[in-house]
Amino acid sequence: MSKVAVVAFGGNALLRGNEAGTIDEQEKNAYDTCMNLVELIRQGYQIIITHGNGPQVGNIVLRNEAGYFTFNIPKMPLDICVADSQGGIGYMIERQLRNALSASGIDRKVITLVSEVIVDRMDPAFEAPTKPVGGYYKLQEKEAAENKYGWVFKEDPAGRGYRRVVASPAPVDILNIDLVEELVNKDYIVIFGGGGGIPVARHENGYLEAIEAVIDKDLTSALIATKISADSLFILTDIPKVFINFRKENEKALDSLTLDEAERYYNEGHFSAGSMGPKIKAAISFLNSGGKETIITEAGLLADLSKGTKIINNKD
């Protein structure tokens, strides 16, 4: 029997920290990551791929602003920017995955879906926006944007100006998730939930409202995995294992841990909100909803999963 896995590509699947972000760099990184993913397919997994979009959607927002200030091209809202990033990144992953499969002698169908994710308009995250988007504004520019758009800003600690911040609400539901499950059952590899999904809110009359927010892609990945009853959730990052006491004298790499242990370490504050915290939170959410295992590792280690960190459900 095939095993079903949701695989969450980290930001470095397309863009590395020391790179300019050219199309050649991103396509090479996508191909390398997809070649590593072939190892899971050879192990009998049916795959749903999710991905981050932080650097890419940031660049889209900057181009948006440059076009407005230079040529008076109307700005597009954040939900459209997320949708743009889903299409571009999904296309790159889909094409390079097809190339990787072909080079490996594997015949599989691949499809990318634009993904809308339902959020709750009453989520407390909207009361305390924290997610920075776009460029740095001078004080006068920031005040003008506040008055014109109602945006919220935070001052940069390094003194580079002010950046817009938006809410990061929790994903509640996912549109077309039944189609994803149907496609997986028909042997498709599905690219879905990019950038955490395009946030929308459903009104009582069924109207879908576009929401200016950013959803954490690992939490969306966990919800996708839960909705389709996946066996495993793979979270690919830029370090091979999960650590406690990270970058301290007593840091310790974790080969495996139980759901109980993951919850304890998370509550003790071992995982920072800006890096490993959301990944552990996503793992906990998936396992508490009936998932069997979460593996957190580098893409290059998918051929030998013992080199990553496995979190297993000990509450079944």
Active site residues: 11-12, 131, 217, 279
What letter does residue 48 receive in the DSSP assignment?
E
Query: SS3 of 13, please?
Result: helix
C-alpha gyration radius of the chain: 20
- The number of beta carbons lying within 10 Å of the beta carbon of residue 272 is 10
Please state at what angle helix 23-42 crosses helix 78-103, rounded to 10 degrees.
Answer: 60
- Rounded CA-CA distance 41/144 in Å is 52
CA–CA separation, 200 vs 146, rounded Å?
23
d(Cα 282, Cα 277) in Å, to the nearest integer?
9
User: Residue written as tokens 């997809």?
Assistant: 34
Strand order in the sheet with 131-137: 131-137, 162-166, 152-155
Q: Residue 304 carries which side chain, given as an amino acid letter?
A: D
What are residue 120's phi and psi, to 5 degrees? Answer: -95, 120
Are the C-beta atoms of 7 and 20 separated by less than 8 Å? Answer: no
SS3 306: helix
- Residue 158, token pair as written in the block: 């390094």
Q: Which of 33, 27, 35, 43 is nearest to 13 (CA)?
A: 33
Tokens (6 digits) for 192: 């879905």
In total, the chain counts a number of residues equal to: 316
Strands 162-166 and 3-9, bridge-based pairing = unpaired
